[in-house]
Amino acid sequence: MTMSDTTPGVVARLRRTTVGRSVFRSPPKVTPRDRAAAHWASFFLHIYPVKMRRREIAFRYSWYLGVISTVLLGSLVASGIYLMFFYVPSPNQAYSNIQTIQTDVTFGQYIRNVHRWSAHLMVLAVAAHMARVFYRGAYKAPRQFNWVIGVTLLVLTLLMSFTGYLLPWDQLAFWAVTVGTEMAGYVPVVGESVKEMLLGGVLVSASTLLRFYVLHVVVLPTVIVVLLMVHLWRWRKDSMLDTDRPVVEGTAQPELEGSATDG
């Protein structure tokens, strides 16, 4: 059977051209083995298992809360990049830059609101996602490691909100960060050093603004994106390790007992 037998019209013709053949390397997908080969050959699909449980991608199992968190993260990155075009993290300019974004920049007020709302909703969505994982017992073997990555993602999400809060450089921002960093200072042993490291001194100042800005636009988003890639990869791979599969005599995997995807 040829490609044209399985793929309709225009797409099949495009795939047969020299350019098409250099882009799409997968063989015609006739048997399950062909489909698996296509999966492995694709850059975008190769991280996914070839098969996965239908139940795990059903709305009633996950309520798509992790997916919603991911979409909100995408919205934050896109709107954040737009805001960066008009914002300078210096005490002399930050506040007036925000005023300009609100009043003069094309779509400025709209994009700023998208950024703020996405941030609030992401905190809610991530917390709800964590509660869902707990309620379903989806933290149990073989998913313990993904739970730990998840907790780290939650902390990083909260830190994103905290660092973003200072950037408008208004009274609310200034005092909120003063209170937040003072609280960090009360942590036993390391508190004082953490506080000074965050502030870049003993008080909220130009150094604090610059540090929070770098954390907010470079460090935290990069760590979140990298960890999220691992999180999603583990989500799919862990689904293959489920003990619901029939276990062959003598090959039982005790460490997977008490698996969690029921319900």
Residues forming contacts to ligand HEM in the complex (CB under 6 A) are 56, 62, 64-67, 69-70, 73, 126, 129-130, 133, 138-139, 143, 146-147, 150-151, 153-154, 157, 224, 228, 231-232, 235
Which of 82, 200, 63, 35 is CA-nearest to residue 124? 63
Q: Give whichever of 73 and 198 is closer to ligand HEM, judged by the CB atom.
A: 73
Mention every residue, 6+ apart, whose C-beta is less than 8 A from residue 144: none
Q: Give whichever of 112 and 238 is closer to ligand HEM, judged by the CB atom.
A: 238
Q: How many residues does the chain have?
A: 263
Residue 72 · residue 125 · CB < 8 Å:
yes
Q: Give whichever of 141 and 199 is closer to ligand HEM, judged by the CB atom.
A: 141
Minimum separation from the CB atom of position 186 to ligand HEM (A):
25
Q: Give whichever of 89 and 150 is closer to ligand HEM, judged by the CB atom.
A: 150
Minimum separation from the CB atom of position 218 to ligand HEM (A):
17
Residue 127 · residue 95 · CB < 8 Å:
no
Cα–Cα distance, 103 to 84 (Å, whole number): 16
Residue 202 C-beta-side C-alpha neighbours within 13 Å: 0
Minimum separation from the CB atom of position 181 to ligand HEM (A):
23
Four-residue CA torsion sign, 214, 218, 224, 230: negative
Four-residue CA torsion sign, 155, 156, 157, 158: positive
The Cα diameter of the chain in Å comes to 73
Minimum separation from the CB atom of position 215 to ligand HEM (A):
16
Minimum separation from the CB atom of position 68 to ligand HEM (A):
8
Cα–Cα distance, 261 to 125 (Å, whole number): 21
Q: Give whichever of 143 and 211 is closer to ligand HEM, judged by the CB atom.
A: 143
Minimum separation from the CB atom of position 260 to ligand HEM (A):
7
Q: Give whichever of 66 and 89 is closer to ligand HEM, judged by the CB atom.
A: 66
Tokens 């709107």 sit on residue:
79
Q: Give whichever of 32 and 74 is closer to ligand HEM, judged by the CB atom.
A: 74
Minimum separation from the CB atom of position 197 to ligand HEM (A):
24
Cα–Cα distance, 171 to 174 (Å, whole number): 5
Cα–Cα distance, 31 to 253 (Å, whole number): 31
